[in-house]
Structure 1
Amino acid sequence: MATKMTMPQMGYDMQEGTLVRWLKSVGDEVSLGEAVAEIETDKAVVEFESTAEGVLLELLVEEGTTVAVGESIATVGAEGETLVEDGDGPEETTEAEPVAEEEPSEPDAEEAPEAEEDESEADAIPLPASPSEVRASPIARKLAAERGVDLNTVEGTGPGGRILRSDVLAAEPMPASEAAPEEEEPAEASEAVEEPPMPEEEAPEVVEEEEPTEAMEEEPAKEAPEEVEEPVEPELEPEGDDMRLVPLTRMRQQIARTTVGSKTTIPHFYVSTDIDMTDAMSLRKEINASLEGDARVSVNDLVIKACVHTIKGFPKFNSSYTDDGIRMHDSINIGIAIADENGLIMPAILDCGDKSLTEISAASKDLVQRSQRGTLHAEEYTGGTFSISNMGMFDVTSFVAIIQPPQSAVLAIGTVQKRPVVQGDSVVVREIMLATLSVDHRVSDGAEGAQFIVQLKEYLEHPLRLLV
């Protein structure tokens, strides 16, 4: 039976991707895991690997087309297999139409106007589809519910009119809080009109209700000017020759969504410490002297290896928070921050748990090179379980990093620099690096964060343990 291949989700909140180029043609045989297309995400161009094995029967998307996550892009099956087209929809509608025509034809002439009235009323109110019938992504549905946006009033810009997250953000929320007073006012007015036929006992009640209503009407009038944020308008529409608006790239939009989402939903806390890297730097020099070719172990490689050892003793920092519980990851996949002129990505070195220091070094270099060529795999984008951000090459001594959802921790390291350090009764020069750990407080507490970074420091200050 033929299998549909769909647009994969290659990022935490990726909603759509652009099919840049097909690497296979109809009729070609494809193997499971073989690259069949190049897909552009918000941050990079990634090779899409086949999720099925067989013959490529159909290409459903043309090159250059933007497709929502989960939409079908190709069909793989057995050679000569006949594709089954979706025909149930039209058949059901053709069956339903005669029924709709027969029902109004049977009633008498007197009932016909009533049917017309019912149809006009249906056009006014019941016609909009229920939320479950509206074509919208899960993220868009959740956001619409939070913002009070009626999906029936939103025009989708995704494939086939599918409503995306950006469409909901652009829509105006339903003024539910404002609608209530408007409905109450006409109700009170109608009660006032009905006062003459009502008994005198109810007259005082109407008067008592009108007084607080007038007070309530005055309050919104006073608050209305306060709600108008006039200073915002000049920022949205800059004026003057010395100002210009630079459009956001897709990568910058993605970084904005990820970082804002992280800082607004993940309660960060931070622990920092100075790490004496003198012995680690000496060991690194000895290892590099013994390596052949262009193979070199970097400071970042030493930190990655130390983090792997530390995570094994503190597995909670290799987890993800969910409302149902904390998801513990068996594989240790270390994400490393890679920056270029377009922005920042954080792909992961997969399965670091059993890798040696030199294997981690080789995998790290390979990850950087493939990110520059745009040949990273989808799981390298989405599979990270712990991340490291290194700004030492920029001569930055200290900074804090934002956690990459859905991970629970990230380590920020600065440059290694020589400093005077007191040892006993003497002052010596040592090579010091400052490290800061950002932790999701929903997953762990300050004491555990402190224990983690102290253990990390122990490994780096006694680096021979990293070789065991």
Structure 2
Amino acid sequence: MPINLQMPALSPTMEEGTLAKWLVKEGDEVSSGDLLAEIETDKATMEFEAVDEGTIAKIIIAEGTDNVKVGEVIAIMAEEDEDVADAANAKTASASPEKAPEPQQEAVSAPEATASPVGENKPTAPTQTAAPSGAQRIKVSPLARRLAEHKGVDLANIAGSGPGGRIIKADIDAAEGGSAPIKSAAAAPVAVTAAAAAPAPTANDFDIPHTSEKLSGMRKTIARRLTEAKQTIPHIYLTVDIELDKLLKLRSELNATLEPRGIKLSVNDLLIKALAVSLMQVPKCNVSIDGDQLKTFARADISVAVSIPGGLITPIITSADTKSLSAISTEMKDLADRAKDGKLKMHEYQGGTASISNMGMFGIKNFDAVINPPQAMIMAIGAGQKRPHVIDDSLQIATVMSATGSFDHRAIDGADGAQLMQVFKELVENPLGMLA
């Protein structure tokens, strides 16, 4: 009998995704393990593999479709020796009853659709209260409708950002925060009277040359998570200046030794190691808030910020405190390459006990990074620069970088954060200590 291919859950928190690309077409024969499609999640583009053998009878969801719910049927596959046409027709027939109620769910009753903000507009009522046509229906996903009812959001005033103007969950979240696009007066059920005050003009009201690009699932998630982090986490920032000359000298010596093995350590590799060792020496900073509990971790897994097309992802060096520098370097290069290709596995970017973000390669002197929840700290690394610096009570020129730790003040006291920064500074300025 026909096999329903459903939108897979590629991470524990995934509720929907984008069917970015089909790798098969109708009529193709597939075997277990064959790649069927590329699915864009909130973190990466991942491949969807076939489990069974058969023939693709019908593709239900077109590539490029956003907001495909986990579990939704995206294609139908005929089993071996099954007629492909029959399988496709069986799917079409069985899908009709499921989809039939959707227009009724999206339609709004005449009184609700024609409610007027200005009660004196009685003459327009007959036109507005006519039987709902396709243009008068409010297109809204079932999840968005339930959220709107729960939060008291008026769907009639929201311009949907989903396919075909459909209102989706993100629109409801934006409406609750006061940032959702509002339907224009021309699309409103009742015209506003001439006496109504015109809204203040915005940049979008002027003919400014621009390009528009739809936000990817990753960019939407970044926006949501960083907004949530800044609104819910009380950040405390602690900055230290660190001499780099000894670390740069050690790196040069190690790279000369590692060259025959094809390994080249970066400064960031050494800083990852230094942060991991620091967290183990100051365990009060290797923590996470979990409801009304404080978790203290027994190892240091460092999430490393990597810029990729369309956003940012944080692959993880697990047990970085116990790994050699050569192992960290090799693993980091592999993770970064696969991150840029969207090939990371879920466990390789979800988790971590703390993060490090290095913008020194862009010449950034110092910056404050946003904590990546549920972690409780992130280390922001600036550029190493030649600066006047006091060494042994004399003014000299040294290579100095600024490092800023962002700490969740709910979980980490300022004194503990300061101790971590002090240990981190000592390890970077005397790097043999992190190798002992």
Q: TM-score, normalised by structure 2?
A: 0.66
Whether contact under 8 Å (1:19, 1:67) holds in the other structure is no
CA contact (8 A) 2:306 2:315 kept: no
Task: Give 1:135's aligned residue.
Answer: 142
- The structural deviation recorded for 1:152 is 10
Distance 2:365 2:429 in 1: 18
Are the counterparts in 2 of residues 389 and 401 from structure 1 also a CA contact under 8 Å? yes
Aligned-pair distance for 1:416? 1.2
Tell me if structure 2 keeps the 8 A contact 1:21–1:37. Answer: yes
Match of 2:255 in 1: 288
Map 1:414-453 → 2, pairs under 5 A: 414-453=382-421
Cα deviation, 1:22-62, whole Å, max 9, x if unaligned, reads: 479664123xxx96542234665x22365x96657877645
Q: Distance in 2 between matches of 1:155 and 1:425?
A: 65
Could you say if the C-alpha distance between residues 260 and 172 of structure 1 is closer, same or farther in structure 2, counting changes exceeding 3 Å? closer
What are the residue-to-residue correspondences of 1:60-79 with 2, within 5 Å? 61-72=61-72
The residue that corresponds to 2:226 in the other structure is 259
Q: How does 1:97-112 map to 2 (within 5 A)?
A: none
Task: State yes or no: 1:48 paired with 2:13.
Answer: no
Residue of structure 1 equivalent to 2:32: 29
Between the aligned partners of 1:5 and 1:453, the Cα distance in structure 2 is 48
Q: Which residue of 2 aligns with 1:398?
A: 366
Distance 1:419 1:159, change over 3 A: closer
Which whole-Å deviations, capped at 9, do the CAs of 1:313-352 have from their partners, x for residues lacking one?
3455454434353455666442222335x55312212424
Shift of 1:298: 0.8
> Does the 8 A contact of 2:372 with 2:378 survive in 1?
yes
Q: Secondary structure at the match of 1:415?
A: coil
Structure 2 match to 1:115: none
Distance in 2 (alpha carbons) for counterparts of 1:457 and 1:3? 57
C-alpha deviations, 1:379-398, integer Å up to 9, x for none?
33433442211111112211
Match of 1:118?
Answer: none
DSSP 3-state at the match of 2:374 = coil
Deviation at 1:141, TM superposition (A): 5.7
- Structure 2 partner of 1:187: none
Q: Which residue of 2 aligns with 1:275?
A: 242
Partner of 1:38: 38
Q: Do residues 359 (structure 1) and 327 (structure 2) align? A: yes
Residues in 1 aligned to 2:270 and 2:424: alpha-carbon distance in whole angstroms: 11
In 1: Cα distance, 2:244 partner to 2:148 partner: 47
Which residue number in structure 2 is paired with residue 8 of structure 1? 9
CA distance in 2, matches of 1:9, 1:407: 22
| 1:334–1:384 contact (8 Å) kept in structure 2 | yes
For residues 289 and 404 of structure 1, do their structure 2 counterparts lie closer, same or farther at Cα, with a shift above 3 Å needed?
same
Please state how far the C-alpha of 1:437 moved relative to its aligned partner.
Answer: 0.7
The equivalent residue for 2:124 is none
Kindly tell me: are residues 359 and 156 of structure 1, through their superposed partners in 2, closer, same or farther at Cα, counting changes over 3 Å?
same
Counterpart of 1:374 in structure 2 is 342
1:246 offset after TM fit, Å?
3.7
Which residue identity is paired with 2:39?
I
Question: Do the aligned residues in 2 keep the contact of 1:149 with 1:168 (CA within 8 Å)?
Answer: yes
Q: Secondary structure at the match of 1:292?
A: helix
State the alpha-carbon separation in 1 of the partners of residues 238 and 424 from structure 2.
Answer: 12
Partner of 2:215: 250
Summarize the Cα distance change of 1:7–1:299 in structure 2 as closer, same or farther, 3 Å threshold. Answer: same
Unaligned runs of 5+ in 1: 94-133, 175-224
1:166 and 2:170 matched: yes
2: CA distance, partners of 1:379 / 1:149: 37
Following superposition, the deviation at residue 362 of structure 1 comes to: 1.3
Deviation at 1:373, TM superposition (A): 2.7
Q: Give the equivalent residue in structure 2 for 1:106.
A: none
Determine helix, strand or coil for the equivalent of 1:401. Answer: coil
Q: Given the superposition, is the C-alpha separation of residues 70 and 407 from structure 1 closer, same or farther in structure 2, using an over 3 Å criterion?
A: farther
- C-alpha separation between the residues in 2 aligned to 1:173 and 1:458? 44
Root mean square deviation, CA, Å: 4.6
Q: Which runs of 5+ in 2 are unaligned?
A: 101-140, 179-195
Q: Distance in 1 between matches of 2:158 and 2:292?
A: 31
**Closer, same or farther in 2 for the Cα pair 1:421/1:348, shift >3 Å?**
same
Matched to 2:394, the amino acid is S
Q: Secondary structure at the match of 1:296?
A: coil
* Aligned residue in 1 for 2:107: none
Partners of 2:282 and 2:310 in 1: CA distance: 31
More moved, 372-381 vs 402-411: 372-381
- Letter in structure 2 aligned against 1:20: K
- 1:152-200 alpha-carbon deviations (Å, 9 max, x no partner): 99898769999632231566899xxxxxxxxxxxxxxxxxxxxxxxxxx
Number of residues of Structure 1 aligned to a counterpart in Structure 2: 364
Identity value in percent:
35
Larger Rg: 1
Shift of residue 444, structure 1, vs aligned partner: 1.8
State the partner residue of 2:18: 17
* Separation in structure 2 between the aligned mates of residue 81 and residue 322 of structure 1, nearest angstrom: 52
Is the 8 Å Cα contact of residues 321 and 406 (structure 1) preserved in structure 2?
yes
The Cα shift of 1:358 comes to: 1.0
Distance across 2 between alignment mates of 1:395 and 1:11: 37
2:351 pairs with one of 380, 383, 393:
383
Conserved? CA contact 2:315–2:339, under 8 Å? no
Amino acid paired to 2:389: V
Give TM-score scaled by structure 1 length: 0.62
1:410 to 2:411 alignment: no
Q: CA deviation at 1:414?
A: 0.7
What is the match of residue 424 of structure 2? 456
Displacement of 1:400 in angstroms is 0.9
- Alignment-mate amino acid for residue 135 of structure 1: P
1:188-234 residue CA offsets vs partner (Å, 9 max, x unmatched): xxxxxxxxxxxxxxxxxxxxxxxxxxxxxxxxxxxxx9xx8954x32
SS at match of 1:29: coil
The 3 A distance-change label for structure 1 pair 20 and 49 is closer
For 2:147 and 2:405, the matched residues in 1 are separated by 31
Q: Which AA in structure 1 matches 2:70?
A: G
1:282 aligned partner, one-letter code: K
Tell me if structure 1 keeps the 8 A contact 2:240–2:421.
Answer: yes
Residue identity opposite 2:289 in structure 1: Y
1:339 correspondence with 2:343: no
